[in-house]
Amino acid sequence: MKAVVLVGGEGTRLRPLTSTTPKPLLPIAGRPLVERQLLWLAAHGVDEVVLSLGYLPDAFVEHFPGNEFASMRLIYAVEQEPLGTAGAIRFAAEQAGIEERFVVCNGDVLTTLDLRAFVEFHLEHGAAATIHLSQVVDPSALGVVPTYDDGEVKAFIEKPAAGTAPSNWINAGTYVLEPEVLERIPPALATSIERETFPRLLEDRGRLYALATDDYWLDVGTPEKYLEAHADVLGGRIGSSPVPDAREEAPGVWVQGDVDLASEASLEAPVLIGEGVAVAAGARVAGSAIGAGSSVGPDAVVDRSVLLTGVRLARGALVRESILGIDAVVEEGASVLDFSIVGAGANVPAGTTLTGDRVPVAAPAG
C-alpha cells in the first residue's frame, strides 16, 4: 500500500523552532514526528511513502539518506509553490505514479488509528474517499464532519462558532482515496481538499464516508500541543517505551546512553534523559524531555518542558511549560515560563523572566 504524507507546511505557530527545522522533523520524545508517522504507516502495511514537500525540503532529503526508512521506499515531491492540501496530494501522486487506492495523512498528526481497519471500512462502503474522525472537546477551531448512521458524510462545517457545532467529531487529517478523487482536483492549482474537493464529492451520494474512532489522536501544531505530545509519549499513551534505545532506570524514568546524574538530583516521572546529559546536584527534572548533550545546572528546575539537544541551564534557572531550541542557554536565575519558545543558540540573560515569549534564533557569529 502507498501513502502520501503532507509535510510541506512552515509550522509558523512553533516558531522559532521551525525557523531552521521543519515541524515534522522536530523530535517528540527523542524521535522526529515524521519518523513516528512512518513507523505507524509501516506497521499497517504501507511500503511506499511520498513526502509532499514545500518548506525546507532539503532537510528531509538529508534526514533520510538513501530514500528509505524502516524498509519503506521514500519518494520526494517538492512543490515550487504552495498548492493547498488537494493540490499537494495530486502533485505528489503524479510524481510517484500512484494509480491505485492510497492513504493520505497530515504531517503534524500523531495517532494510533488502526489503519487496516480504516481501509477495510472504506472498502466495505465502496467509497471514493473516507475520512478519519476524532472527537475533541472544543471543535470551534477545526472542521466538524456530521454523518449519517452508516458513516456517509452529511456536510462539512468549518470552524463553527462555539456552542453551534452539531457534534464534536472533527476531520482528523487521515484519508483513504481512490484514484478517481485525483481527477476532481485541478492540476497545478492551489486547492483545499477539506474546503473544496470533499464538499464537491457530496454532490454524488454514497461516495464520501467517514469513520469515527476513539484511537489516540493529536494535532502537534502549537507549543501547548507539542508539549502535550511529549507528555503523552512519555506517559505511555503511544507505546510502552518512548524511544527504542531508552532504558527505564525507575518507573517512568527513561535514559538513553551514558549520562551524568548527580545522586542529589531529582527526576520525577515521566522523564526522558538523552545521551550525554548532565544533571547537577539539587536540580529537579519533572515531566520533561532533555535532549542529548544538554546540562541542567545546580538547583535548576525543568518542569513539563522540552529541551532539545545541547541546551545549557545555569545554576537556579527555571524552565516551566516551555521549549528550548538546540544549543539555547538560560543563564543563572533566569526563568522561562508559560509556553515560551527559545530559538536555537539563543541566550536568556541572568535574572530575566520570559512569560509566553518567543526568542528568535541566534544570529550567526561573525
pLDDT tens track for 70-83? 889 999 999 988 89
| 145 plus 284 within the same structural domain | no
| 13 plus 90 within the same structural domain | yes
Task: Locate 147 and state its grid cell.
Answer: 454523518
| 304 plus 351 within the same structural domain | yes
234 assigned to some structural domain: no
365 — pLDDT class (breaks 50, 70, 90): low
Q: Would you say 145 and 200 are in contact if contact means Cβ atoms under 8 Å apart? A: no
Q: What's 67's domain CATH number?
A: 3.90.550.10
First and final C-alpha spacing in the chain: 50
Q: Would you say 52 and 4 are in contact if contact means Cβ atoms under 8 Å apart? A: yes
| 323 plus 261 within the same structural domain | yes
Q: Would you say 259 and 47 are in contact if contact means Cβ atoms under 8 Å apart? A: no
Strand partners for 258? none
Q: What's 286's domain CATH number?
A: 2.160.10.10
| 305 plus 156 within the same structural domain | no
227 assigned to some structural domain: no
C-alpha distances in Å from residue 119, one per residue of 2, 17, 86, 130:
12, 35, 20, 8
| 157 plus 278 within the same structural domain | no
Please say whether the dihedral angle defined by the alpha carbons of residues 55, 190, 36 and 157, taken in this order, is positive or negative: positive
For the chain, how many structural domains are there in total? 2
| 162 plus 279 within the same structural domain | no
Task: Give ∠ CA 43-47-49 in degrees, rounded to 5.
Answer: 105
323 assigned to some structural domain: yes
158 assigned to some structural domain: yes
User: 231: how many CB neighbours lie within 10 A of its CB?
Assistant: 16
| 200 plus 248 within the same structural domain | no
Task: Locate 347 and state its grid cell.
Answer: 541566550
Last residue of a domain, one of 167, 187, 221: 221
Residues 129-184 have pLDDT tens digits of 999 999 988 887 778 899 999 999 998 887 777 777 778 899 999 999 999 999 99
Whether the model clears a pTM of 0.85, i.e. scores above it, the answer is yes
| 282 plus 156 within the same structural domain | no
Q: Distance (Å, rounded) from C-alpha 304 to C-alpha 231? A: 8
Containing structural domain, residue 35: 2-221
Q: Would you say 45 and 116 are in contact if contact means Cβ atoms under 8 Å apart? A: yes
Got the DSSP string for 190-217?
---IIIIIHHHHTTSTTSEEEEE--S-E
| 207 plus 253 within the same structural domain | no
226 assigned to some structural domain: no
| 209 plus 295 within the same structural domain | no
Residues 177-197 have pLDDT tens digits of 999 999 999 988 899 998 899
Peptide bond into 270 cis (omega under 30): yes
Strand partners for 261? 279
125 — pLDDT class (breaks 50, 70, 90): very high
At residue 4, does pLDDT exceed 80?
Answer: yes
Query: Residue 353 belongs to what H/E stretch?
Result: strand 353-355
Q: Is 50 helix (H, G, I), strand (E, B) or coil?
A: strand
| 204 plus 299 within the same structural domain | no
Residue 127 falls in which region: left (phi positive, over 0), alpha (psi -120 to 50) or beta: beta
